[in-house]
Structure 1
């Protein structure tokens, strides 16, 4: 591996890392703001839950599964008109964040729904018996009891969408994936591609470590 070549590319590698961070930051923020509440609604509208509504749950579940069934590269292409409408461009990290966000919402919603299922039913029934309002049950019981699992779910989402951001680089999204393709594939600079893969591995390990530590700290068991 030519370290002098990699050293000379340090500014480009730093810029690519910032672009990846921007894509992830936007996508994860949208996932938390929209996908989190959607996951809560999916859970609470199930039969036997606080807002049980079979029809609404079925429709929301179908929509979530529909979006999740699209391969990410196809989803990106399908959302080109929407991306251009929202950000005025189809290239760059902000433009790539649009399909990333669109894919992250149902992905995180399902993770949230599965995490909330692990909250003991007796805890919810006790809160209801004490006269807690739906908002109090959601905020002080559901989210509080499931916070360690929610952090683990967010960790899974972050790692998954780090790889998605690399795919976005192939179609002009920028970031680490774009750098690896431009230099490692088109210019046959294998050392650059290997360095970018190593960087992604380090990032995944760091995210997993931080997520596991935080989840352990929040775990009440």
Structure 2
């Protein structure tokens, strides 16, 4: 079992849950205004329709894991590309309604769950707090693909703080995926938010450090931008290795 080993103390559900809804609404406004969902996005072989279908399927998987956890193992056998293609083949209006209903249902279900109630999630377990952060991250990341496709600015907001906190908490995943040993020294991350405020994680006196904008950090950990396409700076071998292999999902 993969243990995410996440310290989510920085994420407050009462703030993150409304932010999850808002992130979905922002993306909804963009996809609703785009008539051609067959346009290819930066993800190989995925159109806008594939992106929306993937988000809808992920929402359905969360509901399955919460309500019938004994059936979740079947999800692990699914091919994400095939599921996205099947969803993308649905009429645009039908898929849009399906995604809207699903994301609202997920937000309601996560908001009603006890904070310590665990449910299965891709080789590990999740909780409401982790699931909200993961859904926000995925909505933002796949949304970035769509924003890039239609040429609309993906305006950074303070919602990035939840994604950055998730990325910091799950930094071990980057080393695990790259088959690198976990860092033995602490890493300090200092990111500049959209309003100029500095968000920090890790010990103030850590020798290993990462600095840059919150947007660049989130683009990097969601693998939406190559490291050299960001303004992120790293001090120390472990910090550099993290950025070179950054990810927040397997």
Q: TM-score, normalised by structure 1?
A: 0.32
Select the structure of larger CA radius of gyration. Answer: 1
> Which protein has the bigger strand share?
2
> Which protein has the bigger helix share?
1
Q: Which has the higher contact order (CA 8 A, sep 6+)?
A: 1
Q: TM-score, normalised by structure 2?
A: 0.29
